[in-house]
Structure 1
Amino acid sequence: MCPHSHVLPPLQILSGSAPGLDEARIHITHECERKCSVWIRHAIKHKVRLLHVYGSGIEILDSTAMFPSRHLKIIRLHSLELTPGFFRPLNNDCHVLENLELKDCYVCDPPQEISSMSLKVLRIVRGFIDGLLICARNLTNLSIIYPDCEYAIVTRDLSSLVTASVIIDSEVLHQGCDIIVGGHRLLDGLSHATTLELHAPLHELAFERGLKMCPMFSNLTSLALGDWCTAADFYPLLHILHHSPKLKELSVKLKMEECSLCKESVLSSSRGTLSSTGSYPSIERIEISCRKEDPRIGAL
């Protein structure tokens, strides 16, 4: 047993004649890092359904820790370094995995892939992403919150997606670590969602570049946008509206000061192709949240 762990060692937790474990929580510190794979495999062998592994700092977890399972439905990983190839057994050998959460994790290069056919919910909170492709066809709910990215987070073939939320922190952008759009652009994989939330400071290249070849959001009925949609004289907002024929609810939340530089962005050359006039007959409700004196309120 690791002297600094707050949980009993799995061999003690898993003793007994129970047909399977509902939940296993494993806390790793640097001193007991090497034992982690043994503990995880032992829990999976005993048919664990919820596996929660969390580190004290950024402890290393590689693909050898995972074991084929027909019982594991939920995995929560916190404060861990996920080495290359880590997701391969999750994609191929965990046939009932439905919920995966990565919180404060370091996803190492080369770009890794999450493509589990059974996965329905994926939540990524903070952490450092060194390239990631998400192409899980049965995924219904995707959350990417405050990521710190060296290379692209790419979404593709998310045909079952219902709800998607991408929130980017201004502090991350100030460090020069924004989400860089790759060959299969971030917005393409979100085009099937019925509820979409895209929040970012002024201005966000990941979203703006994706708009240049923007897909039709054919199923979208509820949309929430942040400050970035006001760049280039509201070009991002207008562009999404023109590609969302079923939109019923629109929410715009402005938290930052108006940015004069953001009125001219990478999309400025394309502004003339869209008109701010016209009707959007399906929209039933519009909500705008901002300071009372915000100069953008009139244009909105």
Structure 2
Amino acid sequence: MWIRHAIRRKVRVIQLTGHAIVFARLDSMDFVSRHLKILKLSYANVFDSFTMKLSSQCPSLEELELKDCLVEGHGIIHVSLKRLTMVKCAFLKNFLVDAPNLVFVRCIAPERWVPLFKNFEALVTGSVMFDDSLLSYEFGYQVDDDEFAQTSDDDDDDNNSTYARSIGKPITASDDSDEFISDDSDFSDDFCDEYSDDVKDSHDYGSDINSDSGTYEYSEIANGHEYKQFENLNDGHDCTKGSNYHGCNAMYATSDYKSLGGQNVLHSLSNAQNLELLGHLGEVVLRRESISCPTFSNLKTLTLGEWCISTGADFDILVLLLQYSPTLEKLYLHLEKNPDIQKALEGGIKPKGGLFSCKHLSMVRIRCTKGNPRVHMLAQLFRYNGVLLEKIYVRRSGSFCEPS
């Protein structure tokens, strides 16, 4: 009744939050309006009839935000939509977003299915973070509670499954990944300081990588490593050849995993100027899509998670992305603490990478735990690809060697 009254008064902004246990069930006719510009929904069931009405009978809609929603519609096709945020929502298969005038998209920790993106030619800023464990029971990821000293959970309910809550099942702590949100306006020098406090993910993505506290020029912590050679800089294979899947574990190349969704997500985001691609070690969707890596012709700022580095020191996917980002100016890397990495390096695994040319790269900032040996390997990789050590910064917290 309140919504109907607001719509009759030609309201332009509606924000509705349902209950965390029993989701709000929306009547699609209540939201039909030629004046509605901004719609924000939390803990709501979004049915197919609802998304169809938004697409066809809300012609002025410019911003849509869905958080902790069960999205049962088949998609959103909207010409006027400019900003779309989807955080910790459960999707039915084949959910499609078709928005030719979209300039900003954020898709964080989708459950059951990664939405498909289409016609994002106008996109300026894109942010995605995937967690395989939310898409299929086949994947499991155990998170070290001490991963980063600054990571905290202020609300235990934020770690519960959206899908389980919406259908009334007992709530279990199956989601190890809270939301990651960056600044809505732009990706300026301090964009990494603008994340919302209530949506950190379990590996501290989006916390304070750009903070001066604990941040050093690489030369301050190099301890002689800057003089070492990167032995596998040019190891005879071409990272751009998809047939070798550039160092990725064979399971990602041979398995289908189409049931997880997210097909062509990198191509859909390829026009962006500012891009965040975040995920844990070995995340399938992003690694699968990197097989056919597009050229990011407009990309200025890139933020990457652990997914682009295999266990040990295989930087092939990272190099591949840099090869296809000719205009890149700023690179942010988030490294996780993983005991398998230390074992692999102690076992004699050598760093693996390749050649790239980022002539405009003015800054590399690495977020990691103290003592992470891959920092030095990355610095060597960048140095031998023409990036001055003075342009490399390291933001450290916790300890790589702390017992779990």
Could you state the TM-score of these two structures normalised by the residue count of structure 1? Answer: 0.75
Report the 3-state secondary structure (helix = DSSP H, G, I; strand = E; otherwise coil) of the residue aligned with 1:240: helix
* In structure 2, C-alpha distance between the alignment counterparts of 1:134 and 1:179, rounded to whole Å: 17
* In structure 2, C-alpha distance between the alignment counterparts of 1:277 and 1:58, rounded to whole Å: 51
Give the aligned partner of residue 104 of structure 2. Answer: 141
Report the 3-state secondary structure (helix = DSSP H, G, I; strand = E; otherwise coil) of the residue aligned with 1:286: strand
What amino acid sits opposite 2:371 in the alignment?
E
* In structure 2, C-alpha distance between the alignment counterparts of 1:204 and 1:62, rounded to whole Å: 37
Could you list the per-position Cα deviations for residues 218-258 of structure 1 after superposition, in whole angstroms to 9, with x for gaps in the alignment?
A: 11010000111112712221111111111010110112316
Give the aligned partner of residue 122 of structure 2. Answer: 160
Give the aligned partner of residue 43 of structure 1. Answer: 6
Could you list the per-position Cα deviations for residues 172-205 of structure 1 after superposition, in whole angstroms to 9, with x for gaps in the alignment?
A: 3685479955484211211111000111101111
Question: Does the 8 Å CA contact 2:70/2:89 hold for their aligned counterparts?
Answer: yes
Give the aligned partner of residue 34 of structure 2. Answer: 70
Question: Does the 8 Å CA contact 1:155/1:188 hold for their aligned counterparts?
Answer: no
TM-superposed deviation, 1:171: 5.9
Question: Does the 8 Å CA contact 2:323/2:357 hold for their aligned counterparts?
Answer: no
Report the 3-state secondary structure (helix = DSSP H, G, I; strand = E; otherwise coil) of the residue aligned with 2:15: strand
Query: Is residue 256 of structure 1 aligned with residue 337 of structure 2?
Result: yes
The one of 60, 64, 74 equivalent to 2:25 is 60
Give the aligned partner of residue 175 of structure 2. Answer: none
* In structure 2, C-alpha distance between the alignment counterparts of 1:258 and 1:197, rounded to whole Å: 25
What amino acid sits opposite 1:285 in the alignment?
M
Could you list the per-position Cα deviations for residues 63-105 of structure 1 after superposition, in whole angstroms to 9, with x for gaps in the alignment?
A: 33331x2211100111011112321111121111111110110
* In structure 1, C-alpha distance between the alignment counterparts of 2:323 and 2:268, rounded to whole Å: 18
TM-superposed deviation, 1:146: 2.1
Give the aligned partner of residue 114 of structure 1. Answer: 76
Question: Does the 8 Å CA contact 2:83/2:102 hold for their aligned counterparts?
Answer: yes
The one of 264, 277, 280 equivalent to 1:198 is 277
Give the aligned partner of residue 211 of structure 1. Answer: 290
Give the aligned partner of residue 239 of structure 1. Answer: 320
* In structure 1, C-alpha distance between the alignment counterparts of 2:121 and 2:87, rounded to whole Å: 23
Question: Does the 8 Å CA contact 1:153/1:180 hold for their aligned counterparts?
Answer: no
Question: Does the 8 Å CA contact 2:90/2:113 hold for their aligned counterparts?
Answer: no
For residues 179-198 of structure 1, the aligned pairs below 5 Å read: 182=261, 184-198=263-277
* In structure 2, C-alpha distance between the alignment counterparts of 1:137 and 1:122, rounded to whole Å: 12
* In structure 2, C-alpha distance between the alignment counterparts of 1:218 and 1:240, rounded to whole Å: 12
What amino acid sits opposite 1:281 in the alignment?
K
Please list every run of 5 or more consecutive structure 1 residues that lacks an aligned counterpart in the other structure: 1-8, 11-39, 264-273
Give the aligned partner of residue 83 of structure 1. Answer: 47
TM-superposed deviation, 1:216: 1.1
Residues 204 and 77 (structure 1), Cα distance of their counterparts in 2 relative to 1, 3 Å cut: same
* In structure 2, C-alpha distance between the alignment counterparts of 1:106 and 1:173, rounded to whole Å: 14
Give the aligned partner of residue 363 of structure 2. Answer: 285
* In structure 1, C-alpha distance between the alignment counterparts of 2:35 and 2:354, rounded to whole Å: 52
Give the aligned partner of residue 276 of structure 1. Answer: 354
Residues 116 and 74 (structure 1), Cα distance of their counterparts in 2 relative to 1, 3 Å cut: same
Report the 3-state secondary structure (helix = DSSP H, G, I; strand = E; otherwise coil) of the residue aligned with 2:16: strand
Could you state the TM-score of these two structures normalised by the residue count of structure 2? Answer: 0.56
What amino acid sits opposite 1:74 in the alignment?
I
What amino acid sits opposite 2:28 in the alignment?
S
Question: Does the 8 Å CA contact 2:18/2:42 hold for their aligned counterparts?
Answer: yes
Runs of 4+ in 1 over 6 A off after TM superposition: none
* In structure 1, C-alpha distance between the alignment counterparts of 2:262 and 2:137, rounded to whole Å: 24
* In structure 1, C-alpha distance between the alignment counterparts of 2:135 and 2:114, rounded to whole Å: 14
